[in-house]
Amino acid sequence: MSALLTDQMLVLFAILALGSWLGHLSFRGVSLGTAAVFFVGLAFGHFGLTVPKPIMDLGLLLFLYAVGLQAGPRFFRTFRKQGIQFVVIAGIAIGAAAVVTAGLAWVFRLPFALAAGMFTGALTNTPALAGALDAISRIAPDQAATVSVGYGIAYPFSVVGVTLLTQFLPRLLRRDVKAAEEQWLAAQLAEQPALQKAQFRVSNPNLDGKRLDELDTHRLSQVNISRVRKGQQVILGTPDVTLHLGDVVLVVGAPDELAKMRLFIGEEVDVPMEAGSRVVSRDLYVSEASLVGKRLMDLRVWDRHNIIITRIRRQGLEITPVGTSMLDLGDTLRVVGDEQAIAQFARLVSGNTRRIEETDMVPFLIGLVLGVGLGLAPFQLPNGLTIKLGAAGGAFLVSLVLGHFGRIGPFRLYVPAAARNLSRELGLMLFLGGAGANAGTQLFAVIRQQGGDVFAIAAVITLTAVVLTLLLTHVIYKMNLLSTLGLLAGVMTNPPALATAGNQTSTDVPAVTYASAFPVVLIFKILLAQLLVQVLHLF
């Protein structure tokens, strides 16, 4: 039996299995979730059972890479809109934590290396720890181990405390998650309304006798004409259809764009547009790789297939299709036409259904290579400091860009939602299991050596950043609850807290907010950790 327990792979998966099971147990509707893996790891580590550090690092890398791919499509738009707020919140919260660390270190006469390590652990940031170690190697190389001890003291409380706070925060703030989701969805619809349909009777005499392709509606408005009613007959709105006064056209587009059509065509009406017609609409899933990157104008959808595409749904967004619109794997197309024509087109766009379940491994792995390379590259600052983002931080930044553009050079990236979820969940569990086991081996030894005061000091540093973040997000900026949860996890660079926030909502708001704040937060923490070493060394 003892021989089995020396196998680190067996220990690792025992921690994951037991932690996952405990995380699903609930008391009065409250459960630990994925954070339970960390507690189980602590218990295993206390008895000398450890997990290889590269496994833990790989888990963090996979988790952040998957989060970046998920958040990428919305990241740049969110950062453009709220980037200044994120910079202000991160700067104040992290800067205050650094000042409090320096003050407590002076009052309690803490060794400067220990205090710097506690700062990085209290803010749960391994790249900042690496930055502090790099700075101290130039000042006092013999104190490097003390930095790691400080990190180990502060890290468990910060990880567990912030994760549990994220779980209970909606109740503490007396705010409902479902209400926050509805508020966010309403804001999204106001910013980018879902496509709607409307019917207009042709009363503009300038349109009488005009063919639809002569109207060139896309120059006036981002809409598509789906069907035309002539008397009692409903026909497909094809380019060769000629309009006459009294005809009724069915138009699809955003509300503001439809309002332009009301002025251009005529009054809005409500008449049957399907009875007695072979014209139908269907939703088709794009799973054929050969269509990826193709423009609709190049496919000549009407000329070749006698159908019209009225909507494209992609990653929760509705897009009005125009000639330059490009298709991507996973797109849902709303098509209108004859049933037989739609069936033929469906075989073209959905021919390879297995493709939807497969990840494009070449761009996926190239992104990881670029991310790790970026994270390990040193950046020289004017004041002589050198910073590194860390492998996981670099992979996260690359995944944001990759998720936004969807390609690396000639390679298009497609990662099914199931694959992203597996990478995110398994990566987080690997990280938590390893972090818990490795912290458990030294936790009690550190308590005996340093005493209980250091834990209180570490808690104060963590709470300083947490309280200021909540004050700024909830009171000053009055952010949506989902954004508050994501930003709290982002300011603390706390992956378990992000996972806990994500488990409370069906939206990706926490992940997008976390991703938007992460780059700023990461750089602030690395710089302040190195600056703190130099300042504390002068005391």
Per DSSP, the three-state class of 434 is helix
In this prediction, residue 66 carries a pLDDT of 84
Q: Give the residue-averaged pLDDT of 482-502.
A: 88
Decide which of 301, 324, 351 is a domain's last residue: 351
104 — pLDDT class (breaks 50, 70, 90)? very high
In this prediction, residue 484 carries a pLDDT of 92
Least confident range from 12-16, 174-178, 530-534: namely 530-534
Do both 305 and 375 map to the same domain?
Answer: no
Is 259 among the domain residues?
no
In this prediction, residue 174 carries a pLDDT of 86
Contact 433, 12 (CB under 8 A): yes
Do both 173 and 312 map to the same domain?
Answer: no
In this prediction, residue 31 carries a pLDDT of 60
Least confident range from 105-114, 141-150, 262-271, 403-412: namely 141-150
Do both 480 and 342 map to the same domain?
Answer: no
pTM above 0.85, yes or no: no
Spatial separation of the C-alpha atoms in residues 283 and 334, rounded to whole Å: 5
In this prediction, residue 317 carries a pLDDT of 65
Is 32 among the domain residues?
yes
Domain count, the chain: 2
Is 218 among the domain residues?
no
Decide which of 325, 351, 377 is a domain's last residue: 351
Do both 375 and 524 map to the same domain?
Answer: yes
Least confident range from 8-22, 236-250, 270-284: namely 270-284
Do both 36 and 67 map to the same domain?
Answer: yes
Q: Give the residue-averaged pLDDT of 283-308.
A: 74
Which of residues 11 and 130 earns the better pLDDT score? Answer: 11
> For the domain that residue 297 is a member of, what is the CATH number?
3.30.70.1450
Q: Give the residue-averaged pLDDT of 493-510.
A: 84
Do both 31 and 127 map to the same domain?
Answer: yes
Do both 371 and 339 map to the same domain?
Answer: no
List, as one string, the DSSP characters of 124-137. T-HHHHHHHHHHHH
Spatial separation of the C-alpha atoms in residues 15 and 415, rounded to whole Å: 28
Q: Give the residue-averaged pLDDT of 279-303.
A: 74
Is 254 among the domain residues?
no
In this prediction, residue 468 carries a pLDDT of 96
In this prediction, residue 275 carries a pLDDT of 46
Do both 389 and 520 map to the same domain?
Answer: yes
Least confident range from 60-74, 206-220, 341-355, 394-408: namely 341-355
- Domain limits at 126? 2-187+367-537
Is 80 among the domain residues?
yes
pLDDT beyond 60 at 353: no
Do both 320 and 387 map to the same domain?
Answer: no
**Do β-strands 196-201 and 268-269 pair in parallel, antiparallel, or remain unpaired?**
antiparallel
For CA atoms 178, 180, 186, 191, the dihedral sign is negative
> For the domain that residue 427 is a member of, what is the CATH number?
1.20.1530
Do both 60 and 179 map to the same domain?
Answer: yes
Is 226 among the domain residues?
no
Do both 33 and 156 map to the same domain?
Answer: yes
Which of residues 348 and 250 earns the better pLDDT score? Answer: 250
pLDDT over 70 percentage in the chain = 84
Contact 196, 268 (CB under 8 A): no
Spatial separation of the C-alpha atoms in residues 228 and 207, rounded to whole Å: 14
pLDDT beyond 70 at 6: no
Do both 31 and 160 map to the same domain?
Answer: yes
In this prediction, residue 5 carries a pLDDT of 56
Is 196 among the domain residues?
no
177 — pLDDT class (breaks 50, 70, 90)? confident
Contact 98, 462 (CB under 8 A): no
Is 24 among the domain residues?
yes
